[in-house]
Structure 1
Amino acid sequence: MADTKQTKTIGEHHAAAELARRGWAPALTHDGLERTDILAVLADPDNRRMVEIQVKTARGSAWRSISWPLGSKSQGPSQHQREYYVMVAVSHDLALPPRNFVVPRSHVAAAAWIEHMNWLTEPGIEPGKRNAPV
């Protein structure tokens, strides 16, 4: 079984490297900021922008089997439009490079709420059996 701290480190460094390849100046926060693993500034003097990124990394043997469990804190709404998730999929097969998906935090919160509401209101379930919060 993979060390979860090592998996987290792989994902954060992979995301930072990909940002740098695309003209961003990333800085790892090293667990110093809640909700933010990487602060990045677009290194374009005519279009300077900053984003806050939370990286979620998961390992699996096949890309389709990888999922990113999110706790209730991770499912909260965005505080502003500059918050993103980078979901990194790391294969157990070291010959395969990591894959990443950039998703606005507001989309993750919306998807979590929709899935929870679907679970709560699924037809055929006895009343009172599904009443848990997100």
Structure 2
Amino acid sequence: MSRFSDLDLDFTLNPISKDVNILRDNEAIKRSVRNIVLYNFLEKPFKPTFGGNVTAQLFENVNPISALKLKVFVEKAIVENEPRVYLNEVNVVPELDRNAFSVTIKFTPINSPQPIKISVNLERVR
């Protein structure tokens, strides 16, 4: 029996039910953490400070200081908005040659002893 479920935002169809696929347990939590990080402030109605607001950081110079600032934004967003996880670590590496950041997030779901790691590459799109 699954504890957590969410819609698959890729909107792929389930071949049997012909309905949108449902993500369950760890997959649902991974998608939620990723979405929280990528949400910008003011995008969610009635919650103006929801999300990681990482896009604002992508217009700064890519350097270790902006990477540290981005790390703080990501940590705060996950701790405040995802009660189903214990945040273990956020690692942000500036990629100077690509003008981007590589973000790795390690967390442990509250119903599982096994830690999960997700990676997100963030770069400015013109």
Same fold (TM over 0.5): no
Larger proportion of strand: 1
The structure having more radius of gyration, on CA atoms, is 1
